[in-house]
Chains A and B, each alone.
Chain A
Amino acid sequence: MGANLQINGITHTFGRTAEPVLKDLQLDITAGQSVALIGESGCGKSTLLHMLAGLLMPTEGCVRVNGRQITRPHADWNMMFQRPALYPWLSVKQNVALGLQFTGQKQGLRERVREMLQLVGLSDRRDDRIQDLSGGQQQRVALARSLAVEPQMILLDEPFSALDAFTRRGLQVEVGRIARDRGITLVLVTHDIDEALTMGDRVVVMGRNPGTFRDVVDVPLAYPRNPVHPDFMRLRSQVMARFEASIDTPASDKPRSDQPVSEPTFREESAHVQL
Chain B
Amino acid sequence: MSTTETARIGAGLPPLGQLMRGGLANLLYPVAGLGLLLAVWWYGGYLVASNPATQAFAGFAPGPALSATWTLVTSGTLASIVMPSLSRIGQGLLWAVVIGVPLGILVGSLPFLRKLTNFPFQLLRMVSPLAWMPVAVLAFSTWNGAIIFLIFMASVWPILFSTAFGVQRIDPMYYKVARNFGASPLATLRRLVVPAVAPDMLAGFRLALGVAWVVLVPAEYLGVTSGLGYAINDARDILAYDLLAALVLVIGVIGFLLDTAVVSLIRYFGWQGS
Q: Which residues of B contact A81 (CB under 8 A)?
A: 173, 176-177
Query: Using a CB-CB cutoff of 8 Å, which residues 62-90 of chain A contact chain B?
Result: 72-75, 78-79, 81, 83, 85, 87-90
From B176, B187, B195, contact of A89 by CB (8 A):
B195
Q: Which residues of A contact B176 (CB under 8 A)?
A: 55, 81, 85
Q: Is the CB of A85 within 8 A of B181?
A: no
Q: Is the CB of B191 within 8 A of A78?
A: no
Q: Is the CB of A55 within 8 A of B181?
A: no
Question: Does B264 interact with chain A (Cβ within 8 Å)?
Answer: no
Nearest chain B CB to A44's CB is how many angstroms away? 18
Q: Which residues of A contact B187 (CB under 8 A)?
A: 101-102, 104
Q: Is the CB of A78 within 8 A of B181?
A: yes
Known contacts A101-B187, A102-B191; decide if A88 and B180 are in contact (CB<8 Å): no
Question: Does A99 interact with chain B (Cβ within 8 Å)?
Answer: yes
Q: Which residues of A contact B271 (CB under 8 A)?
A: 88-89, 129
A99 to B178, CA, bound (A): 8
Known contacts A55-B180, A78-B181, A98-B181; decide if A85 and B192 are in contact (CB<8 Å): no
Q: In the complex, what residue of chain B is closest to A86 when comparing beta carbons?
A: B177
Q: Mark B125-155, 1 if CB is under 8 A from A, else 0.
A: 0000000000000000000000000000000
Q: Is the CB of B173 within 8 A of A83?
A: yes
Q: In the complex, what residue of chain A is closest to B269 when comparing beta carbons?
A: A89
Q: Which residues of B contact A79 (CB under 8 A)?
A: 180
Q: Is the CB of A55 within 8 A of B196?
A: no
Nearest chain A CB to B179's CB is how many angstroms away? 5
Q: Is the CB of A89 within 8 A of B181?
A: no
Q: In the complex, what residue of chain A is closest to B192 when comparing beta carbons?
A: A87
Question: Does A265 interact with chain B (Cβ within 8 Å)?
Answer: no
Q: Which residues of B contact A98 (CB under 8 A)?
A: 177, 181, 191
Nearest chain B CB to A63's CB is how many angstroms away? 15
From B182, B183, B195, contact of A87 by CB (8 A):
B195
A73 to B177, CA, bound (A): 10
A93 to B264, CA, bound (A): 25
Question: Does B237 interact with chain A (Cβ within 8 Å)?
Answer: no
Question: Does B5 interact with chain A (Cβ within 8 Å)?
Answer: no
Q: Is the CB of A89 within 8 A of B196?
A: yes
Q: Is the CB of B180 within 8 A of A78?
A: yes
Q: Mark B166-194, 1 if CB is under 8 A from A, else 0.
A: 00000101101111111100011001100
Q: Which residues of B contact A101 (CB under 8 A)?
A: 187, 191
Question: Does A103 interact with chain B (Cβ within 8 Å)?
Answer: yes
Q: In the complex, what residue of chain A is closest to B271 when comparing beta carbons?
A: A89
Q: Which residues of B contact A74 (CB under 8 A)?
A: 182
Q: Is the CB of A72 within 8 A of B177?
A: no
Q: Is the CB of B196 within 8 A of A73?
A: no
Q: In the complex, what residue of chain B is closest to A149 when comparing beta carbons?
A: B181
Q: Is the CB of A102 within 8 A of B198?
A: no
Would you mind naming 22 contact pairs between A and B with Cβ atoms under 8 Å apart?
A: A72-B182, A73-B180, A73-B181, A79-B180, A85-B171, A85-B173, A85-B176, A87-B174, A87-B196, A88-B271, A89-B271, A90-B195, A98-B177, A98-B181, A99-B181, A101-B187, A101-B191, A102-B178, A102-B181, A103-B181, A103-B182, A149-B181
Known: A85-B177, A87-B177, A89-B198. 6 other contacts (CB 8 A): A75-B181, A78-B181, A87-B192, A90-B195, A102-B178, A129-B271
Closest 6 CB pairs of A and B: A89-B271, A102-B183, A85-B173, A102-B181, A99-B181, A89-B195
Q: B residues engaging A (CB < 8 A)?
A: 171, 173-174, 176-183, 187-188, 191-192, 195-196, 198, 271-272
